[in-house]
């Protein structure tokens, strides 16, 4: 992202130093958009062949076929149309009896102008190989009364509007495969909300063959992506917003969504009770949450990988200890809460065995800084500084003690915390280890004493005399 500001500065300099460049570029664009799109522009190189009622033209329409009204032609195929636009209203004027119309391999053709009127007789419209055609406006076909088949395979269409398929009242068959469908830009949202056996889906005869081509869902079946989007919208909790950020295949080939639920700054006192299937990221920043119990113990949250709880009122996270989620999470952000301490041993254990962990944020909390807590907490921070990403913001709470007030905990000298009268804390696990060590030494010492006594006197140990 560093290059972005530099590019913007350079662009600004170019605009200031060479204003004429911007002016000419805009004029050129305006001129391109204002072209009349006349069919008679491309007659010199056009080659047309008639066979009874069929006409095939390549590289334009020959001048003969642009004069008068050609009522004898009912089938027209236009190949390699050389222009960037095509006026369908003028075509209908010259060929009012058309029943079958094809546009084939016209790589320069980007748009259509005008529309077919209600008196046209076209029953089948085929558009193939238009590699510059990104969208077909519904107005083109809206008034076509007898259009039964619309074949749009093999173009560069990215999205379509529902009215393109619902407008023509006689339309029964639609083919859309082989296009570069953008499943992420919102242009196909209406298709996601269409019922599985809805009228539009029944018209699209190759619906199961359509594939998403844009970055987020590239190569994924469009029908699966649309089904996931529909389910996501139906299950998205109020007042949150839900977004499918990515789609992946699992080992069995099933389509797995990665969904982000954004509930940030919604004045929530409790997290949502349910999430859309496949939710991996939950954003709860800037709410009024005081506990995480409802999150870590909710089975709906099992697939959650990234959890953002910044700027709430959470004062304790002991509920994390021993939970399945804490051993598998990827991102946990607790910045800006009311945390004074955390269960260091539980965090250490979870971080050690969690293979998914990437980022943890603990900054901007009023951490307790005394000799009983800081040595263990500091050790945790340094041990896992690879994943705890905001060490510089993890500081002691503000106090009257200048040695500790707002001091970075990971770098604070323990001498500033623990004075001569303080006793370094011993953790519960170390106490257990010391007891076990004492017992082991006692057993080994007794064994050595009994062995030496038996060797010298032949007397068996007391324990063996009472055993049956």
Can you spell out the DSSP letters for 398-429? P-S-TTTTT-BTTT--HHHHS-TT------HH
pLDDT of residue 296: 87
Confidence of residue 465 (pLDDT cuts 50, 70, 90): low
**Lowest mean pLDDT segment, chosen from 173-177, 359-363, 402-406:** 402-406
pLDDT reading at 16 higher than 80: no
CB atoms within 10 A of CB 359: 15
pLDDT of residue 2: 41
Q: What's this model's pTM, rounded to 2 decimal places?
A: 0.71
Cα separations in angstroms, 141 against 25, 93, 148, 166, 202: 33, 16, 11, 10, 19
Measured distance CA(162)–CA(177) in Å, rounded: 17
> Strand 100-104 to strand 54-58: parallel, antiparallel, or no bridges (unpaired)?
unpaired
Structure tokens at 397: 């709470």
pLDDT of residue 192: 87
Q: Look over the chain and give the mean of its residue pLDDT values, rounded to a whole number.
A: 86
Distance of CA 97 to the CA centre of its chain: 49
pLDDT reading at 458 higher than 50: yes
pLDDT of residue 456: 75
**CATH level 3 topology of 241-417:** 3.80.10
Measured distance CA(127)–CA(177) in Å, rounded: 12
**CATH level 3 topology of 35-234:** 3.80.10
Q: Which of 432, 428, 435 is nearest to 344 (CA)?
A: 428
Q: Which of 350, 347, 393, 341 is nearest to 370 (CA)?
A: 341
pLDDT of residue 70: 95
β-partners of residue 173 are 149
| Mean pLDDT value across residues 276-284 | 95
């Amino acid at each position: 992202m560093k290059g972005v500001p530099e590019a913007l500065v350079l662009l600004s300099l170019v605009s200031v130093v060479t204003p004429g460049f911007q002016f000419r570029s805009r004029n050129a664009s305006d001129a391109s958009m204002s072209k009349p799109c006349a069919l008679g522009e491309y007659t010199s190189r056009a080659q047309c062949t008639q066979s009874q009622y069929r006409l095939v033209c390549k590289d334009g329409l020959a001048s003969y076929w642009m004069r008068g009204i050609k009522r004898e032609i009912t089938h027209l195929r236009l190949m390699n149309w050389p222009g960037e636009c095509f006026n369908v209203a003028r075509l209908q004027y010259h060929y009012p009896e058309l029943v079958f119309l094809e546009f084939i391999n016209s790589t320069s053709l980007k748009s259509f102008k005008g529309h077919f009127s209600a008196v046209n007789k076209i029953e089948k419209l085929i558009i193939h190989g238009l590699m510059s055609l990104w969208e077909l406006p519904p107005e083109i076909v809206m008034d076509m009364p007898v259009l039964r088949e619309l074949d749009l395979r093999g173009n560069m269409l990215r999205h379509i509007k529902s009215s393109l398929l619902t407008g023509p009242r006689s339309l029964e068959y639609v083919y859309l495969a082989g296009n570069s469908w953008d499943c992420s830009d919102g242009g196909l949202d209406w298709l996601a909300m269409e019922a599985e056996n809805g009228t539009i889906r029944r018209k699209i005869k190759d619906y199961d063959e359509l594939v998403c081509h844009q970055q987020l869902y590239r190569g994924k079946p469009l029908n699966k992506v649309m089904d996931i989007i529909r389910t996501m919208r139906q299950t998205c909790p109020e007042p949150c917003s839900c977004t499918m950020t990515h789609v992946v295949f699992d080992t069995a080939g099933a389509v797995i969504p990665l969904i982000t639920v954004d509930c940030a700054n919604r004045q929530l006192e409790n997290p949502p009770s349910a999430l859309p299937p496949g939710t991996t990221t939950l954003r709860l920043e800037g709410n009024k949450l005081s506990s995480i119990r409802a999150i870590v113990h909710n089975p709906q949250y099992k697939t959650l990988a990234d959890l953002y709880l910044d700027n709430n009122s959470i004062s304790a996270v002991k509920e994390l200890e021993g939970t399945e989620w804490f051993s598998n999470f990827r991102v946990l952000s607790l910045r800006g809460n009311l945390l004074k301490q955390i269960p260091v041993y539980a965090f250490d254990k979870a971080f050690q065995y969690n293979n998914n962990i990437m980022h943890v944020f603990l900054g901007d909390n009023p951490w307790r800084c005394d000799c009983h807590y800081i040595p263990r907490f500091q050790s945790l921070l340094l041990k896992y500084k690879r994943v705890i990403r905001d060490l510089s913001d993890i500081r002691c709470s503000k106090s009257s003690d200048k040695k500790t007030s707002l001091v970075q905990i990971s770098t604070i000298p323990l001498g500033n915390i623990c004075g001569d009268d303080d006793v370094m804390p011993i953790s519960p696990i170390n106490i257990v280890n010391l007891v076990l060590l004492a017992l082991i030494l006692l057993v080994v010492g007794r064994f050595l004493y009994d062995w030496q006594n038996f060797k010298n006197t032949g007397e068996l140990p007391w324990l063996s005399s009472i055993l049956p």
